[in-house]
Amino acid sequence: MGKATREAYGAALAEIGAKNKNIVVLDADLSKSTKTDTFKKVVPERFFNVGIAEQNLISVGAGLAAAGKIPFVSSFSMFATGRAFEQVRNAVCYAKLNVKICATHAGITVGEDGATHQSLEDIACMRAIPNLTVIVPADEAETKAVVSWAAEYNGPVYVRLGRAGVADVTPENYTFTPGKSTELVAGTDVSIIACGALVGPAVDAAAMLKEQGVSARVINMASIKPIDADAIIKAATETGAIVTAEEHNIIGGLGAAVAEVVTEHKPVPVIRVGTNDTFGESGTPKELMAKYGLTAEHIVEAAQTAIKRK
C-alpha cells in the first residue's frame, strides 16, 4: 500500500510553495492531519491557522485570492464542504476567485472518527456549484500532479483527499489534465470507471475478472468536473457495460456523473459501486470498505451483473 493522498498533498504543497512566493496556505486548526504543517515548516510566514472556523477559512481564502494571492485552504472534507458550503458557493465560486480547496479525510476510510467525519456527499455538493473544478486523485503521484496543476490554473478548484494509504496506480511521466481520464487496463467486455481510493480495487477487480475469462477495461476518472465524456462514450460503445466505483454516496457522485453522460449519448447498463444512501460508522478502513461494499470483490460482482444486462 502506498501513501495517503493527504500526505502526498502536504509534500507537494511544501515543494511548490517554496518556489512560488504567491502561494499562501490556510488551515482550520488541523494542519497535522491535513499535512499542511509540512508547508508551515518550510515557509511559516505564508501559513495561517484561522482556528476551528471553516466558514472564515474559505472567506479569508477568497479575500487573499481577490488580493492576487494563490490560497490553498484545507480542512476535513466534511467541514470544508459542509460547514462552509455557502462561502464556497458565494464567496469563491460566484466570483470565480482563485482558491484551491484541498479537503482531506474524505470518504469512509476516515475510519474510527465515525459518521460525523466521513464525508460521503462532498462530490455531489461540489460538482453542483458553477465555476468549480472537482478533482479526486487516486494516489501519491497523481496528487502531486494535481497540486502542481492547481497552482498554475486560475480559478476555483476542489481537490478531494483521503486519510488512508492507497495503492500506487498512476503511470510514469503522468501529467494531469482536467477533463481527461487515464486508461489503466485495456478491456473489451466491461468498463470499470473509478476515482480516488477505489481505483486500486478496480485494477484488482480487473485482474480477478481476467481469471474468469472477462476482459475489463479500467479507467481512472480523477477529473469529476469537467468529466471526460469522450472516454465514457468510447467505453460504452466498445464494451457495452459500465461499472463505476467510488468512496462516496452513489447519489450525486462519480456514478451519477457517468450515468448522465451515458443516458444522453450511449445508453448501456451502468452499475454504481459506492455507499448506498447511508451514513458510515466507526471502524477500521478495511472493515468499513468491506461492510459498505467498496472492495474489489464487490466491483467484480457489479461487473458480472452489468455484463448480464447487456
Tell me the DSSP string of 200-257: HHHHHHHHHHHHTT--EEEEE--EEES--HHHHHHHHHHHS-EEEEEEEETTTSHHHH
CA dist 8 and 2 (Å) reads 10
pLDDT band at 24 (very low <50, low <70, confident <90, very high): very high
pLDDT in tens, 129-156: 999 999 999 999 999 999 999 999 999 9
pLDDT band at 122 (very low <50, low <70, confident <90, very high): very high
By annotation, the residues acting in catalysis are: 54
* Helices marked H in the chain: 5-19, 31-34, 37-42, 54-66, 77, 85-86, 122-127, 140-152, 199-211, 229-239, 254-265, 285-291, 296-308
% pLDDT > 90, the chain: 99
Q: Quick one: pLDDT at residue 40? A: 96
Query: Which residue ranges form the domains of the chain, and what is each CATH number?
Result: 5-160 (3.40.50.970), 182-308 (3.40.50.920)
Mean pLDDT confidence for 217-223? 98
pLDDT in tens, 163-213: 999 999 999 999 999 999 999 999 999 999 999 999 999 999 999 999 999
CA 155 to chain centre: 18
% pLDDT > 70, the chain: 100
Number of neighbours of residue 237 by Cβ within 10 angstroms: 11
Mean pLDDT confidence for 76-99? 98
pLDDT band at 304 (very low <50, low <70, confident <90, very high): very high
CA dist 264 and 266 (Å) reads 6
CA dist 65 and 147 (Å) reads 17
Rg (CA), the chain: 19
Q: Quick one: pLDDT at residue 16? A: 95
Number of neighbours of residue 51 by Cβ within 10 angstroms: 10
Q: Quick one: pLDDT at residue 1? A: 76
Mean pLDDT confidence for 235-243? 98
Mean pLDDT confidence for 213-220? 98
What values do phi and psi take at 146, rounded to 5? Answer: -70, -45
pLDDT in tens, 51-68: 999 999 999 999 999 999
Q: Quick one: pLDDT at residue 90? A: 98
